[in-house]
Amino acid sequence: TSSAAEEIISPSVQVSYTQLLIDGNFVDSASGKTFETLDPRTGEVIAHVAEGDAEDINRAVKAARKAFDEGPWPKMTAYERSRIMLRFADLVEKHSEELASLESWDNGKPYQQSLTAEIPMLARLFRYYAGWADKIHGMTVPADGNYHVQTLHEPIGVAGQIIPWNFPLLMFAWKVGPALACGNTIVLKTAEQTPLTAFYVGKLFLEAGLPPGVLNIVSGFGPTAGASLASHMDVDKLAFTGSTDTGKVILGLAANSNLKPVTLELGGKSPLIVFEDADVDKAVELAHFALFFNQGQCCCAGSRTYVHEKVYDEFVEKSKARALKRVVGDPFKKGIEQGPQIDSKQFQKILKYIRSGVESNATLECGGDKIGDKGYFIQPTVFSNVKDDMLIAQDEIFGPVQSILKFRDVDEVIRRANDTRYGLAAGVFTKNLDTANRVSRALKAGTVWVNCFDVFDAAIPFGGYKMSGTGREKGIYSLNNYLQVKAVVTALDNPAW
């Protein structure tokens, strides 16, 4: 672990857009209020950003409503919509360095990760959904009686979307891509920690030819801007990614207003199971990646590493060695694997969980403390001898804290892996096809990665069982979230033949 945050490198970008994007224009919030977005490397202010509230959500919904009801968006041909999305993807690539820089500055994630993983994925997701735009269609249905029956797949209307701070641009893409492909209009609320890149891509969308009002972006806080979007009577659909607690609040707001359908992508405590026949070195590396990627701030992080007793000691030793080698520091420096946590609240929460691990007598193999006195850097931390009933094995920590547990046989590990309120993802490491198949089918999780982890393709659906959420995003599955199905039943004068 290198000591961090002494040498701060400047991001190569200016903050150009800090106002709300409503009806094709960047505007101040109605109240004139702003809030600070902070640099997680230092806690210093990057920019003052417009603080949207109920009145701004109203303005944005009105613009989205008009763009939907009066056009042009749902009335344009699907091919035209597709071409705008493709042009947008080209612009993302053209501006990839500024975008990556802004993303890492606001979020703290390594610049190399933003540039080589997240920006290409952003473009890829929009190209994927651009490809769907002109391939969405209904069916003719062979009903009893003398009727011609067809289904129309229509856009649902104004989509409200609330996104978190851990992957600001990718969460934007997962939500906006399918909604636009289906012909909806959008009001998106960004997370208060990371408002900057959505405005930048909003500007690129205008440049790509997206009509005013189709995509409105409001920055602001959850209980104000977020809650008024979730409870708005003129929003037809809501998509949310964030914590399970907030997901419950959102579902209540939707139910108590206009019963808008809601998709939720929430927390997780994903098991990663290493069997005795796995390639241990590879499993160590992938388990390390599964937990520490993005500073541990992934809803699907492999945060319960179950290792077979025969390879347990070797696995723990090697995992510790790997974590000690992890390079932590300024995300703009070359070779950095881990930047700061997002903010002081998360930072304190993670340190509290580390203390709880120590107090509950898990073995602290390495790490366990913050790094430096500036910003929110935390040492890569590994606990062994973790037991299922410890807090660190039950709660989502959302930080660089790996918990390694021991198991003996397959039935036992399936039961323990499923003994959680969450069900987002899981990993299975084995060379035995029967074990892989059996465990994949038995695990109650929306994704099972076998001998890999965190493989995110635009075409692969993602979502949770149990309290990890409802609905699926990405792939063909996400389209259903943004479509209404209308059955048109026409009586025929004469028999169909």
Considering the complex, what minimum distance in angstroms separates the CB of residue 418 from ligand ADP?
A: 24
Question: Binding ligand ADP by CB under 6 A: which of 76, 86, 149, 249?
Answer: 249
DSSP-derived letter for residue 116 is I
Is residue 260 within 8 A of residue 235, CB to CB? The reply is yes
Considering the complex, what minimum distance in angstroms separates the CB of residue 315 from ligand ADP?
A: 30
Measured CA to CA, the distance from residue 40 to residue 408 in angstroms comes to 41
| 226 touches ligand ADP (CB under 6 A) | yes
Considering the complex, what minimum distance in angstroms separates the CB of residue 221 from ligand ADP?
A: 6
Which residues contact residue 175 at a Cβ distance below 8 angstroms, ignoring those fewer than 6 apart? 159, 161, 163, 186, 188, 239, 241, 473
Choosing from 103, 118, 265, 337, which is the catalytic residue?
A: 265
Task: Identify which range of 53-61, 222-230, 367-375, 482-490 contacts ligand ADP by CB under 6 A.
Answer: 222-230
| 191 touches ligand ADP (CB under 6 A) | yes
| 223 touches ligand ADP (CB under 6 A) | yes
Q: Compare residues 191 and 386 and give the one whose CB is closer to ligand ADP.
A: 191
Task: Identify which range of 13-21, 207-215, 226-234, 462-470 contacts ligand ADP by CB under 6 A.
Answer: 226-234
| 230 touches ligand ADP (CB under 6 A) | yes
| 242 touches ligand ADP (CB under 6 A) | yes
Task: Please give the size of the binding site for ligand ADP, defined by CB under 6 A.
Answer: 17
Task: Identify which range of 57-65, 218-226, 273-281, 445-453 contacts ligand ADP by CB under 6 A.
Answer: 218-226
CA angle, 95 then 21 then 258, to 5°: 125
Is residue 296 within 8 A of residue 274, CB to CB? The reply is no
Measured CA to CA, the distance from residue 277 to residue 261 in angstroms comes to 45
| 467 touches ligand ADP (CB under 6 A) | no
Is residue 351 within 8 A of residue 381, CB to CB? The reply is no
Is residue 313 within 8 A of residue 410, CB to CB? The reply is no
Q: Compare residues 76 and 249 and give the one whose CB is closer to ligand ADP.
A: 249
Name the 3-class secondary structure at 5.
coil
Which residues from 141-170 bind ligand ADP, rule CB under 6 A? 162-164
Q: Compare residues 226 and 400 and give the one whose CB is closer to ligand ADP.
A: 226
Distance (Å) of CA 397 to CA 295, 323, 350, 447, 458: 11, 17, 6, 20, 27
Is residue 205 within 8 A of residue 228, CB to CB? The reply is no
Question: Binding ligand ADP by CB under 6 A: which of 250, 286, 401, 445?
Answer: 250
Give residue 171's Cα distance to chain centre: 5
Task: Please name the amino acid found at residue 476.
Answer: I
Distance (Å) of CA 452 to CA 224, 289, 426: 40, 10, 10
DSSP 248-310: HHHHHHHHHTT---EEEE----EEEEE-TTS-HHHHHHHHHHHHHGGGG--TT-EEEEEEEHH
Question: Binding ligand ADP by CB under 6 A: which of 26, 35, 221, 289?
Answer: 221
| 243 touches ligand ADP (CB under 6 A) | yes
Q: Compare residues 262 and 284 and give the one whose CB is closer to ligand ADP.
A: 262
Q: Compare residues 106 and 365 and give the one whose CB is closer to ligand ADP.
A: 106
Question: Binding ligand ADP by CB under 6 A: which of 156, 227, 238, 336?
Answer: 227
Question: Binding ligand ADP by CB under 6 A: which of 118, 192, 365, 454?
Answer: 192
- Give catalytic status of residue 300 as yes or no: no
Considering the complex, what minimum distance in angstroms separates the CB of residue 225 from ligand ADP?
A: 7
Choosing from 182, 298, 299, 366, which is the catalytic residue?
A: 299
Query: Per the omega criterion (within 30 degrees of 0), is the bond before 72 cis?
Result: yes
| 40 touches ligand ADP (CB under 6 A) | no
Q: Compare residues 227 and 410 and give the one whose CB is closer to ligand ADP.
A: 227
- Give catalytic status of residue 154 as yes or no: no
The tokens of 85 are what?
A: 């999305």
- The candidate with the shortest Cα–Cα distance to 392, out of 351, 344, 446, is 351
Considering the complex, what minimum distance in angstroms separates the CB of residue 395 from ligand ADP?
A: 13
| 305 touches ligand ADP (CB under 6 A) | no
Name the residue with tokens 């994949």.
440
Q: Which residues are catalytic?
A: 265, 299
Residue numbers of the site for ligand ADP (CB under 6 A)?
A: 162-164, 189, 191-192, 221-223, 226-227, 230, 242-243, 246, 249-250
